[in-house]
Structures are given as structure tokens and as C-alpha cells.
Amino acid sequence: MSAVVQSPPTVDAMALRPSASPPSEERPASRARFAPGAVPEFLGCLAAAVALMVVVFILTGTPVTWNISSETDLGLLVCCLLTFLAFYGVLTSRLHGTLVAKDRLATTCIWTLGLVALLPLIQILLKVVVEGLPVVAAHFPAFLIHDMATAGPSAPVWTGGMGNAIVGSAEQVGLATIYTVPISMLTATYLSESSSAFSRLVRTIVDCMMGTPSIIAGLFVFLFWVKPRGTTGYSGFAASIALGILMLPVMIRTAEEVIRVVPGSLREAALALGSPRWKVSLRIVLPTVRSGLLTAAILGVALAVGETAPTLFTAHGSQEYNFNPFHGVQANLPLQAFQLIFLASKNYVRDAWGGAFILVFLVLTLFVIARILGSSRPGRRPIRIRRRRKEVSVP
């Protein structure tokens, strides 16, 4: 009698999984930025304080010109601020209690001091944009291509330009980046992974270099490289050495702090699996913080782009194109703007504002990129790439 073997019934694998309930669309209620009635109270106290101080100044015979640069209007602004704080503190204390009044007054003071600190920066940026943007936009992109060799004191704006300075800055900063990125990353890795006496000495030297004025780096390269060679020592290569000296401490300290973010358990797991320490650092730690290391490099580049003193003693400046950074004097964006601003002709001063606008635009762009890259978490890409997963049906 033959035994009959029956095949087990097929069971859908998906049916064995617990049914995943769809994620709830309800979110916890976020705290409102402004309490009900806070904005009218703030604006009412501000209007009352300004009106009262203006009336007081007019009755006392003090002229009000609404010019912040004058001492009288600056005093009016301070009196309005103090009066507003008094009105706002009394009103919120009577309506909401002492605790709410203290909180709102502290918030108002913090925001006010922050705006006061930003006012000089905003004024500088507006001045550069107002003076430099029309120069760059005139016959665009002529100002970005031409050099100053054919630009005379009475020549129109499109005959001269910052093309030679842009090329010089790109070559000098590019060479400095090639020198400093490997050295700074390896040094930062050593400082973060070692606690020996030599590492403490290196960290002290790096901290001292952080506070060194930029002109010291230029004088150092001038004495040891340019001066022994005479007039032939001026070159973009000498300027790149000085810029590299300034970039090193910034990149080392930033990269070191980024590497310290990597959890120690990650290193311990790799070491427990038998990986040597150098391979753990190069294959595990550094790839985990790649976005932070790139941010450190961009910060160093942004610092080098705007330096004038080191290039003044090393590149010396030129009004013509020089594509060879290893021979002859070479222009630089901040250096050429610095040299043009002191010339007697208004056209040269106008071109200097155009160079300042290009320089500010480059530096702000680099800082924005560094901010975007630095906002990503360690070990994650700044741009997420979603991959489709293939569903395999189990018979």
C-alpha cells in the first residue's frame, strides 16, 4: 500500500506579516509662534513710545531729521527703545503676569541686540551691491572677461574688467587647496585619534596659527621665498603658499571637531572585527563625516578668497592676464580691488567696487554651500537617493 504524500497548502507570506496600519496623519499640535494678542500689544507699545519721544523732542526744540548717522537721531532711537521696553513691560505684566513679561522683554532685547549687530554688515552688503552690481551688469559679461591693461582713467566701464584677477584668484586658491586639503585632513584625523604628547603639541601650534594675522603669513613667504629671488620671486605660487598657511589651521580645527562627532562604538566595532587602526580611520571614520570634511575645505577656501595682505607681498598684482602662476607677477581679486580703490580716477574706483561685488558674491556663495553641507548628519548624503525595492513573492 503506497503512501500518499500530500503537499502542504501554500500560504501567502504576505498574509503572515502583521498588517501595518497606515501612518497617522495627525501631528502633535505645534506651539504657536505668537500668543493671541501679542502682535497688537507689541505694535501698540512701539507706536506709543515713538510718538511720545518725537513729541518730547519737538517740544524741547531738538530737530529730528530721521538720519541715524546724526547724534540727535541716534539719541532719539535709544530713547524710543527704552520707552518702548518700559511700556511693553508694564502692559504685559498687567495683562499676563510677571513671568510672561520677563520672557517677552528678554526676547525683545535679544532680537534688538542681534539686529544692532547685523546693521553694519547689512549696510556694507547694500553699499557693495548698489555700487558694484551696475558695474558688473554693464555689457555683461565684459567686466568678467576683460583685464585692466587697456582701461584708461576716462574709459567706459566695459573696456576694463576683473578677468585677470579672477584667473589669478582661481589659480592661487586652487593650488593652496591642493596643498592643504590632504595635510589638514590627515592632521585632523591624527589629532582626533591620538592623545600623545606630540599630538597635544601639534594642537597647540594649530591654535596659535588660528590667531596669527594674515599679514604675518605674507611676510613669512616674502622673506623666505620672494626676497632671495628678487623681483622674479613674485608669483602666484608664492601667494598660494601664503594662502595655504592661512587655510591650514581653519581646516584642521573644523575637520577635527567633525571627526570627533563619530561615535566611539563605531570605531570599537570595526576594531573588534580585526581591522587595523589606520584602516578604521580611512575606511570607516572619514567616509562617515565626508560632508563635514567637505564643509571644512569650503570654509578654508572662503577664507583664502578674501585675503589681501598675503598676496600683496607675494603675487604683487598685475593689470594683465598671467595664466602661469609659477612665473611673473599675478593679479588677485581682493588685491586688484585694493590697488584700484586708491587711484585718483573715479573710473578706477568704480571698477574696484565691481571687483568687491564679485568677491562678496563668491564668499557668500561658498558660505551658503558650506552651510547646506554642514546641516546634513554624519554618514548621510546631502541629497537623498531613493531606490525601489523589488517585492519577491514567496510561493
78 shares its domain with 187: no
pLDDT computed for residue 20 by the predictor: 45
- Cβ atoms of 285 and 259 within 8 Å: the answer is yes
199 shares its domain with 110: no
Distances in Å between the Cα of 287 and the Cα atoms of 262, 270, 307, 380 are 10, 14, 31, 10
pLDDT computed for residue 11 by the predictor: 43
321-343 pLDDT per residue, tens: 889 888 888 988 898 888 888 88
> 289 in helix, strand or coil?
coil
142-183 pLDDT per residue, tens: 888 888 877 777 777 777 888 888 999 999 999 999 989 999
> 316 in helix, strand or coil?
strand
78-133 pLDDT per residue, tens: 888 889 999 988 989 888 888 988 898 998 899 988 888 888 888 888 989 998 88
177 shares its domain with 74: no
- Among 65-74, 114-123, 218-227, 359-368, whose mean pLDDT is lowest? 65-74
In a domain, 12, yes or no: no
- Cβ atoms of 135 and 350 within 8 Å: the answer is yes
- Cβ atoms of 289 and 379 within 8 Å: the answer is yes
Higher pLDDT residue, 265 or 395? 265
Query: Mean pLDDT, to the nearest integer, of 276-284?
Result: 83
Query: Mean pLDDT, to the nearest integer, of 270-294?
Result: 84
Q: Count Cβ atoms below 10 Å from residue 233 Cβ, excluding itself.
A: 18
81 shares its domain with 207: no
327 shares its domain with 218: yes
167 shares its domain with 278: yes
Q: Count Cβ atoms below 10 Å from residue 239 Cβ, excluding itself.
A: 35
In a domain, 144, yes or no: no
Domain interval for residue 335? 157-374
Going by C-alpha positions, the residue among 75, 81, 76, 100 that lies closest to residue 90 is 100
Query: Mean pLDDT, to the nearest integer, of 257-278?
Result: 84
- Cβ atoms of 295 and 303 within 8 Å: the answer is no
203-258 pLDDT per residue, tens: 889 988 888 888 898 899 999 998 888 878 899 999 999 999 999 999 999 888 88
- Among 52-61, 204-213, 353-362, whose mean pLDDT is lowest? 52-61
Q: Could you give the CA distance from residue 331 to residue 270 in angstroms, rounded to a whole number?
A: 49
pLDDT band with cut points at 50, 70 and 90 for residue 285: confident
Question: Residue 14 above 70 pLDDT?
Answer: no
Going by C-alpha positions, the residue among 99, 107, 102, 79 that lies closest to residue 89 is 102
342 shares its domain with 196: yes
In a domain, 138, yes or no: no
Tell me the three cell numbers of residue 159: 573696456
In a domain, 18, yes or no: no
pLDDT computed for residue 345 by the predictor: 80
300 shares its domain with 216: yes
Tell me the three cell numbers of residue 171: 589659480
In a domain, 127, yes or no: yes
Tell me the three cell numbers of residue 229: 629671488
pLDDT computed for residue 171 by the predictor: 92
pLDDT computed for residue 176 by the predictor: 92
Burial class (CB in 10 A: 0-12, 13-18, 19+), 321: middle
Q: What is the CATH number of the domain that holds 238?
A: 1.10.3720.10
pLDDT computed for residue 5 by the predictor: 46
Question: Residue 19 above 80 pLDDT?
Answer: no
201 shares its domain with 348: yes
* Helix boundaries (H) for the chain: 13-16, 38-59, 71-96, 98-137, 142-145, 163-193, 197-210, 214-221, 227-229, 236-259, 264-272, 277-280, 286-288, 290-305, 309-314, 333-341, 346-374
pLDDT computed for residue 10 by the predictor: 45
55 shares its domain with 164: no
Distances in Å between the Cα of 113 and the Cα atoms of 80, 116, 257 are 15, 5, 29
Last-in-domain residue among 115, 131, 147:
131
Q: How many domains does the chain have?
A: 2
